[in-house]
């Protein structure tokens, strides 16, 4: 028999003490007492009906619950999500990344506007791992997408702030589902190239777009390892004015590299394109590429297959992160991990011995 | 209070029932009874002294303990390793990978022979994830490195067979340490490009070498994502006869790509070279590159820093794999995981609900 002696599972997606500043809402088996008097939450069925009817105020309210770090809100959000699940999944989910300065916001403004004008309800979400540090950089500046934000078919939601990257991940994933239930047909998820955020976004979208600037060599130097191999398309932005020729050259260079890499999506040859977000050139053409992608992968079955695998992988991500949270937040581990690491790093003990020490103290066993 | 109700931790580095065919020796907190009468193991201190004296027969014996799946051997191996730890770390650890057919064995034969001839004690190990399936393919065919194997300065050890990739990983890592204690100055670890083995090898070596053939484009097509970005050097093999010119062209193509990627080691510009293992051209030059790498990174402190981080990461790998093993082998999980996955994949429940179901049944809580 094995016993685990701790009872606090405050948060899940971080592995070090000190970072655990907020409750990210992973299902914790513990019951918690609340200091504040319990608030009156709206009836989940009623709120769900309003979201299904496309009430944007209620969608925003629901997202607030999903993003809340309070346990009662988390549970309420899960109940809501459960009711809305049958109505999700009908959008095309597009991830958009690129180094800072590549013009992601202006691209999304142009791309989103084109979609909204053609009658497509478009939601723009963001995953910004830096926002918990800097206080929000992408989509945070409200003036940046002003024109798009005013469009009746658009819905813009900045990155949830605070908490761990894993928490932000969960919140964005669930917000995406809420938007789908509210009838949004295109979901754009913007992320900056920091930490593991592109890999997370790749794990929740159908199509992944990498935005770059001219000068492929310099671009790639600053680019994270493996990022090009996630992309279903690369778009060289700012292909206008004197920059146009260089953009074309860059496009060819990227195509050369893409040709040598494994495709991000089976049966789909990723290609590079140029566009000008300011002159709105190449925007519609890119949408046609994405539509072709959707058609082809749906016909081949890879579209649905990827979504099923994404859900399964998400479950396993949750499991591993929860396991890690439980372990790394155990009092013995918080007190002795650094010491064990140091002893292993200086060669005083083997890593296997450090492991045995930690596990035997966390999972105290009875004699058999 | 949280209780964990299972008591079998048979193996660690796999996450599915059915694969758990052998005990890979991760420190398990449980005491186990042995059916066989306990055998008499040699005194660890005596065996350690013989290994330190360079007795090759005793080194081989010690490796057999490290590779054994029996708990008593595992513990004995750990005790031995603990005694030898202060005498490890003095070699240069070189990982060698490449697609099947790239000529890894002939390269190692030529490279190892050059090292041994120059008086360097050289150990050749292998990680072959396919060996547990196919019964061993790399280094398994004894005729392949016949000439090197006969050299008094060489020690060749095939990939440990059977068990999980994680188990093979641990065994190779610990064998490397034993070889260092026995005075080996160069450790070559060969791996084939299957699964996660290159990433594992990258995580235990100082220098990582990728062996390719002519035709960079075709090569890369069959190459795993991110593999080029692990390499401290790429060597185009079989640069002889009519192939020589093409090899030179391929070398330039790889250099172009390497120039655009992030370096595998900070402060070191990875480059491509050509060699002929059969004509023994370019072999000594490559060794000079590796020596330059060692000098530079040792002077910059990145050499030691990488080793410390590798040890720390290894500890955390062990922790996570042990956590996963304990969870995924829990009877409730082995019985209900597929059902929960299916429910999440079909959208019947959210992944968060599947998680809550699994955790509440595995870690049964008392009322607070």
Rounded to whole angstroms, the Cα distance separating B362 from A326 reads 13
Q: Shortest CB distance from B341 goes to which of A170, A226, A315? A: A315
Q: Which chain B residues are within 8 Å of A350, Cβ to Cβ?
A: 78, 81-82, 85, 174
Q: What per-residue confidence (pLDDT) applies to A195?
A: 59
Q: Shortest CB distance from B81 goes to which of A26, A85, A350? A: A350
Q: What per-residue confidence (pLDDT) applies to A135?
A: 41
Q: What per-residue confidence (pLDDT) applies to B199?
A: 86
Rounded to whole angstroms, the Cα distance separating A43 from A80 reads 9
Q: Does B90 touch chain A (CB under 8 A)?
A: no
Residues of chain A with pLDDT under 50: 1-35, 131-138, 140, 142, 366-368
B3 pLDDT higher than 60: no
Q: What per-residue confidence (pLDDT) applies to A184?
A: 98
**Nearest residue to B318 (alpha-carbon basis) of A356, A152, A219:** A356
SS3 B295: helix
- B29-82 pLDDT, tens digit each: 444 444 455 568 889 999 999 999 999 999 999 999 998 888 889 889 989 999
**Nearest residue to B15 (alpha-carbon basis) of B341, B324, B336, B340:** B324
Which residues share a beta bridge with A122? A154, A186
Rounded to whole angstroms, the Cα distance separating A70 from A87 reads 26
Which residues share a beta bridge with B57? none
- Provide the CA B167 distance to its chain's centre, in angstroms: 10
Mutate to test the interface with B, among A28, A352, A362 (most CBs of B within 10 A): A352
Q: Which chain B residues are within 8 Å of A352, Cβ to Cβ?
A: 26-27, 78, 81, 170, 318
Indicate the average pLDDT of chain B: 82
Mutate to test the interface with B, among A2, A3, A346, A361 (most CBs of B within 10 A): A2
Q: What per-residue confidence (pLDDT) applies to A215?
A: 65
Rounded to whole angstroms, the Cα distance separating A93 from A294 reads 10
Q: Does B184 touch chain A (CB under 8 A)?
A: no
- B69-87 pLDDT, tens digit each: 888 898 899 899 999 999 9
Which residue, chain included where needed, has tokens 């019947």? B348
Q: What percent of chain B has pLDDT over 90?
A: 54
> Taking CB atoms and an 8 Å limit, are A26 and B261 in contact across chains?
no
B344 pLDDT higher than 90: yes
Q: What per-residue confidence (pLDDT) applies to A228?
A: 85
Q: Which tokens go with B233?
A: 């050097």
Domain assignments of chain A as residue spans, ordered by start: 1-38, 94-159+180-314, 330-367
Q: Which of residues 260-279 of A touch B (CB under 8 A)?
A: 260-262
- B122-136 pLDDT, tens digit each: 999 988 765 444 444
Q: Does A255 touch chain B (CB under 8 A)?
A: no
Q: Shortest CB distance from B27 goes to which of A322, A341, A355? A: A355
- B227-277 pLDDT, tens digit each: 888 999 999 999 998 889 999 998 998 898 888 778 899 999 999 999 999
B145-165 b/e (C-beta count within 10 Å ≥ 16 → b): beebbebebbbbbbbbbebbb
- B165-180 pLDDT, tens digit each: 777 888 899 999 999 9
Q: Which tokens go with B255?
A: 């250099």
Superfamily grouping for domain B94-159+180-314: P-loop containing nucleotide triphosphate hydrolases (3.40.50.300)
Q: What per-residue confidence (pLDDT) applies to B118?
A: 96
Residue A154 phi/psi, 5-degree rounding, is -100, 150
Mutate to test the interface with A, among B1, B27, B368 (most CBs of A within 10 A): B27
Q: Does A27 touch chain B (CB under 8 A)?
A: yes
Where does residue B248 fall: left (phi above 0), alpha (psi -120 to 50 degrees), or beta otherwise? alpha
B4-41 b/e (C-beta count within 10 Å ≥ 16 → b): bebeebbbbbbbeeeebeebbbbbbbbeeeeeeeeeee
**Band (B219; pLDDT cuts 50, 70, 90):** low
> Is the confidence metric ipTM above 0.90 for this complex?
no
B117 pLDDT higher than 60: yes
Higher model confidence: residue B99 or residue A53?
A: A53
């Amino acid at each position: 028999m094995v016993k685990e002696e701790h009872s606090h599972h405050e948060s899940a997606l971080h592995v070090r003490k000190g970072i655990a500043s907020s409750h990210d809402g992973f299902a914790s088996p513990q019951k918690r007492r609340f200091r504040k008097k319990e608030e009156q939450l709206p009836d989940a069925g009623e709120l769900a009906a309003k979201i299904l009817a496309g009430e944007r105020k209620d969608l925003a309210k629901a997202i607030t619950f999903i993003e809340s770090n309070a346990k009662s809100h988390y549970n309420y959000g899960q109940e809501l999500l459960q009711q809305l699940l049958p109505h999700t999944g009908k959008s095309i989910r597009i991830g958009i990344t690129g180094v800072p300065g590549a013009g992601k916001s202006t691209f999304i403004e142009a791309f989103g506007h084109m979609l909204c004008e053609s009658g497509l309800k478009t939601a723009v979400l963001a995953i910004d791992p830096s926002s918990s540090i800097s206080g929000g950089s992408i989509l945070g500046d409200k003036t940046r997408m002003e024109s798009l934000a005013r469009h009746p078919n658009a819905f813009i939601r900045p990155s949830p702030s605070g908490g761990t990257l894993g928490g932000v991940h969960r919140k964005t994933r669930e917000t995406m589902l809420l938007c789908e239930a509210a009838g949004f047909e295109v979901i754009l998820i913007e992320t900056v190239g920091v930490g593991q955020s592109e890999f997370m976004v790749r794990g929740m979208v159908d199509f992944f777009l990498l935005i770059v600037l001219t000068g492929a060599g310099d671009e790639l130097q600053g680019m994270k390892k493996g990022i090009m191999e996630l992309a279903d398309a690369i778009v060289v932005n700012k292909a206008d004015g004197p920059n146009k020729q260089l953009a074309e050259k860059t496009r060819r260079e990227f195509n050369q590299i893409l040709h040598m890499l494994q495709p991000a999506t089976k049966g789909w040859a990723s290609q590079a394109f140029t566009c000008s977000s300011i002159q709105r050139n190449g925007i519609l053409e890119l949408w046609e590429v994405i539509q072709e992608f959707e058609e082809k992968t749906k016909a081949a079955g890879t579209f649905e297959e990827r979504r099923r695998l994404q859900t399964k992988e998400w479950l396993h991500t949750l499991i591993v992160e929860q396991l890690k949270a439980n372990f790394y937040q155990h009092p013995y581990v918080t007190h002795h991990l650094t010491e064990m690491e140091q002893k292993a790093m200086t060669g005083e003990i083997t890593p296997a011995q450090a492991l045995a020490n930690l596990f035997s103290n966390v999972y105290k066993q009875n004699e058999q």
